[in-house]
Structure 1
Amino acid sequence: MTSIGGASGMVDWNLAVATATRLVRPGPEVSRDEARAVVAELRRHAKASEEHVREYTRMGGEDIRDTPVLVVDRAGWVRANVAGFRQILSPLLDKMQERRGAGPGQAVLGTVGGKVTGVELGMLLSFLASRVLGQYETFAPASRHLPAGENGGRLLLVAPNIVHVERELDVAPHDFRLWVCLHEETHRTQFSAVPWLRDHLEGEIQSFLSETEVDPMTVLERVREAAQSLSGGRPEGEEGEGRSLVELVQTPAQREILARVTAVMSLLEGHADYVMDGVGPAVVPSVAEIREKFQQRRAKGASRLDAALRKLLGLDAKLRQYRDGERFVRAVVKEVGMDGFNRVWTSPNTLPTKAEIAKPADWVARVHRKAES
């Protein structure tokens, strides 16, 4: 991962990867044979989930775009995400580099700052790498070790984290692994069956980033605050504690874009939860037990430090997206059926707004009654 262009001075990406892989906690103890068996089973479940999800959602056909499924360890997740972050953030980092200027001493300061930011980004990634069970990478660039689909995209299943959680919850491993794959396969189906969705979401994200007018050091300071939370370096009650990184850099225009992106993400996450629970009873015998224990785990959270960092990173908002989005999908399917719900994938204009996520009947009225009138 050699540096490219002006963005090279803002973040030392190689150092971010090295720091994260050095700091990330080891996964659960498994023998080599056990590890091979877990990987093989996850691959089988991912393949089986394709048919289950597509039949249940009625999405996709023979022409559906295919994307690879990769079973990775925590270090592999870090490398994949650094590559994705680097691609999507490159325009913003180039812009920040230009604003910083090229005066005397800036090259030296840039190198030092890039390394500091690389270390701190690595700390954050090491925290997240032990928590993610699976992830559909929408904007993944292909590499020799990490292939991606023709237009980007790949599904990651983080084997050690799945094993860790299934042991923590004391649930049937076979059932839990399939349950996780059903959720992640739904995301894969969303983007592979709806060709315009990736470009739409990328456009929204780039519009959000292009509106960023804060001083570069302000953005880097937010990363530093989050990193210090990991080590307990921020005093309790310090101003700004508990605010997410996104909230700290918003302009009025960004807030409008963020509302649209939040609605889309709520839809995608809620749809995946709905499908996972809908398919589950037929193919996952212990789905009720798994769902109950997993929800308790989400609600309970972890230490105060962990909770503070989750809020700072905006992860609390992601949990709300699961809940609010699932309620939206459930209400719409109940009202107009699965085929009626699938009108949501027609175009960007049929996506729900943030207000409609909270009031599904308004989406039904806008999309269905307007179409029928």
Structure 2
Amino acid sequence: MAAKISAHDEVESNRRAPTATVDWHMAVRTSHKLIRPEPLMSSYTRDQVRRELVELSAFAEGPVREVTGLADGLPVPQASILDRAGWAAAAAESLADLTGGSFHKRPKGLIAGRVSGAQAGAVLGFLSNAILGQYDPFAEGGGSLLLVAPNIVATERAMKVSPRDFRTWVCLHEVTHRVQFSATPWMADYMRELVDVMGTETKQQWTKVAPRLAAAVQKNRRNEQENDDLFDRGIIALALAAQPPEQRDAMMKLIILGTVLEGHAEHVMDAAGPTVVPTVDHIRRVFDQRRQRQQSPLQWIVRTLLGIDAKMAQYVQGKKFVDAVVSAVGMDKFNAIWTSPETLPTPAEIREPMAWVARVHG
């Protein structure tokens, strides 16, 4: 007698089917060709940086848990300290799993797979030169905290700040993401579901997409000069305009979740920072200046296409939301946000935090 297959099992099976057309090995090879030379360090200094980042990422768990009230009693996994090439490879493997493909299997469409692999690799290569750290909730064997040592060293040197203070400050942000996911088991699956919806093929006609894109470009040019609203910025405005309703809704929910996660991490950095990072005010001021500095036209194009400027807007708008809610009702009541997808804010509530408070707390 054949075993009965549940609807959930069928959906999960379809999600896991390696239907993606990305050659992830090609992506990794391409990314490695685009990685810039790392900052000069002796082998002793390189090892010292790695040891200190492992130490500080464990240390940061204490103040983060104290500020957030989350993850009390849960174990503290050791962070992975990577170079740029290591981060690109780890990110490729995680993305392969997240998008329903396989890092270890070649896609059926060999040529298409290599083209898309090269495109993905170009993005990973660009990001690997800048990303300081990342919590990967989809890493094999469970979530993993990744810290990119050469980028942290390059940034602290460029900013001329205390290395230990800056490393602690970075760890506060990234460890907050680890705490968020550790304390909220539903969140990784929720993200997977939204990514699955966004990856669904549609037969939308270009004649319907093009007018929306054109309108979004015009609106975006005006709004980036007039305000910093998250949903009117660069790649987000364009991507939302191009999506059919179901995918647009999923993308909006992902943006909201990312905004809450980044804003919460920024809030925790500022709340915990003064007690554990003596020069936190100086680091925050210099770091924010780096975020806002002038860019060349080429830099602006690349950052816009990759959504980096939109991510900066997530930091700003998310922090405003979290700061306002915590100031009004305290961290304990803010933590109701982690209850379920239904307690996450709506786009309107991200702009009006007290509307979220009224809906969730009455």
TM-score, length of structure 2 as denominator length: 0.82
Counterpart secondary structure, 1:90 = coil
Matched, 1:20 2:31: yes
Task: Tell me the amino acid that sits aligned with residue 320 of structure 2.
Answer: R
What are the equivalent positions in structure 2 for 1:95-114 lying under 5 Å apart? 110-114=109-113
Alignment gaps of 5+ in structure 1:
98-106, 143-147, 216-241
What are the equivalent positions in structure 2 for 1:35-46 lying under 5 Å apart? 35-46=46-57
8 Å contact from structure 1 (residues 134, 156) kept in 2:
yes
C-alpha distance in 2, partners of 1:337/1:211? 43
Task: Tell me the amino acid that sits aligned with residue 160 of structure 1.
Answer: P
Aligned to 2:290: 297
Matched, 1:61 2:60: no
Aligned to 2:114: 115
Q: Which runs of 4+ in 1 moved over 2 A?
A: 4-8, 64-68, 90-93, 210-215, 242-249
Task: Tell me the amino acid that sits aligned with residue 41 of structure 2.
Answer: V
Aligned to 1:227: none
8 Å contact from structure 1 (residues 67, 192) kept in 2:
no
8 Å contact from structure 1 (residues 212, 249) kept in 2:
no
Aligned to 2:58: 47
8 Å contact from structure 2 (residues 186, 340) kept in 1:
yes
Give aligned pairs, total: 315
Matched, 1:209 2:208: no
Aligned to 1:29: 40
Aligned to 2:170: 180
Alignment gaps of 5+ in structure 2:
1-15, 206-233
C-alpha distance in 2, partners of 1:213/1:52? 49
Aligned to 1:171: 161
Structure 1 residues 114-137: Cα deviation after superposition (integer angstroms, max 9, x where no partner): 222222322221111011000011
Structure 1 residues 19-46: Cα deviation after superposition (integer angstroms, max 9, x where no partner): 2112211111111000001001111100
C-alpha distance in 2, partners of 1:330/1:81? 31
C-alpha distance in 2, partners of 1:92/1:212? 22
Structure 1 residues 224-279: Cα deviation after superposition (integer angstroms, max 9, x where no partner): xxxxxxxxxxxxxxxxxx65684475112222222222111110000000000110
8 Å contact from structure 1 (residues 65, 193) kept in 2:
no
Task: Tell me the amino acid that sits aligned with residue 331 of structure 1.
Answer: A
Task: Tell me the amino acid that sits aligned with residue 118 of structure 1.
Answer: G
Higher mean alpha-carbon deviation, 357-366 vs 201-210, is at 201-210
8 Å contact from structure 2 (residues 259, 318) kept in 1:
yes
1:267–1:211 Cα change, 3 Å: farther
Task: Tell me the amino acid that sits aligned with residue 174 of structure 1.
Answer: R
C-alpha distance in 2, partners of 1:184/1:59? 15
8 Å contact from structure 1 (residues 187, 268) kept in 2:
yes
Identity of aligned residues (%): 45
8 Å contact from structure 1 (residues 246, 314) kept in 2:
no
What are the equivalent positions in structure 2 for 1:1-373 lying under 5 Å apart? 7=19, 10-62=21-73, 64=74, 67-90=77-100, 110-140=109-139, 142=140, 148-149=141-142, 153-210=143-200, 212-213=202-203, 243=235, 246-247=239-240, 249-300=242-293, 302-369=295-362
Alignment RMSD (CA, Å): 2.3
Structure 1 residues 180-208: Cα deviation after superposition (integer angstroms, max 9, x where no partner): 00000000000001111111222122122
Task: Tell me the amino acid that sits aligned with residue 137 of structure 2.
Answer: T
Task: Tell me the amino acid that sits aligned with residue 330 of structure 2.
Answer: G
C-alpha distance in 1, partners of 2:246/2:341? 19
C-alpha distance in 2, partners of 1:6/1:187? 28
C-alpha distance in 1, partners of 2:100/2:71? 32
TM-score, length of structure 1 as denominator length: 0.79
Task: Tell me the amino acid that sits aligned with residue 356 of structure 1.
Answer: E
